[in-house]
Each structure stands twice: as C-alpha cells, then as structure tokens.
C-alpha cells in the first residue's frame, strides 16, 4: 500500500479563510517531504519542502509543519484565494537516492 496519505479528499473554504491540509506518513525513516499543487490540466508544482531535522518552515502565505512523533505533515495556506483552488499532494523521500512517493491528493475549493 501507499506510504503517504491525506486525511481528507476534499476541502472547501471561503476566500480569505486559512486552509489546513493534512497528510499522514507511515515510514519513520523518511527524511524529506514536499507539498505539491496541481491545477487542472497542469502537472504538479512545488510549493514548499521540509527536512526531518525541522518542524516548521514558512514560505509566502504557506507554512509546512512536521510532527515526527505522530508522523504527520500539514500545509497551512493563509488568506486563501480562488487561485489556490487545486489538488494538493504531499510526497516523501523514504530513502536517499530513491524517488519521491506521493499520497492521494486533497482537492481544495475556494469560493468567493
């Protein structure tokens, strides 16, 4: 089975709200995690990454939190905008020198 998964397949929010998208991973040896955004008709695009020696990393309007104790990863989007509507995937690198493993996506819908 897959190593990385997301808790909710869909998330609907109002414009301006903060969004939180969650991901649980099962391999405690994973040391690198990435969040990707995929808009309709496009390939996944990198949003933000985090290594296992950190528990928080911030970007522009996005924050990734890593809780290694419970093997949980989350993506927080501040002041969500309609352009944030997309499918969001988390991915992990289980072992150095191997390819990223992706979980199922969460579809974020933002209404104005």
Partner 1 sequence: ETGVTQTPRHLVMGMTNKKSLKCEQHLGHNAMYWYKQSAKKPLELMFVYNFKEQTENNSVPSRFSPECPNSSHLFLHLHTLQPEDSALYLCASSQGEGSEAFFGQGTRLTVV
- Chain residues in the site for partner 1 (CB under 8 A): 2, 4, 32, 34, 36, 41-46, 49, 89, 91, 93, 95-105
Minimum Å distance from CB 46 to partner 1? 6
Minimum Å distance from CB 57 to partner 1? 13
Rg (CA), the chain: 13
- Using the minimum distance from each CB to partner 1, give the nearer residue, 12 or 46: 46
Minimum Å distance from CB 101 to partner 1? 7
What is the distance between the alpha carbons of residues 104 and 8, in angstroms, rounded to a whole number?
9
CB 66 within 8 A of CB 73: yes
- Using the minimum distance from each CB to partner 1, give the nearer residue, 69 or 96: 96
- Using the minimum distance from each CB to partner 1, give the nearer residue, 17 or 27: 27
Burial class from Cβ neighbours inside 10 Å (0-12, 13-18, 19+) for residue 76 reads middle
CB 24 within 8 A of CB 69: no
């Amino acid at each position: 089975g897959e190593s990385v998964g997301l808790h909710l397949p869909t998330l609907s929010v109002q414009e301006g709200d903060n969004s939180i998208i969650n991901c649980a991973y099962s391999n405690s040896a994973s040391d690198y995690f990435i969040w990707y955004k995929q808009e309709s008709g496009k390939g996944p695009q990198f949003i933000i990454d985090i290594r296992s020696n950190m528990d928080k990393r911030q970007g522009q309007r996005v924050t990734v939190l890593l809780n290694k104790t419970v093997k949980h990863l989350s993506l927080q989007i501040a002041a969500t905008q309609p352009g944030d509507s997309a499918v969001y995937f988390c991915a992990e690198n289980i072992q150095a020198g191997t390819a990223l493993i992706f979980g199922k996506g969460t579809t974020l819908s933002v209404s104005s």
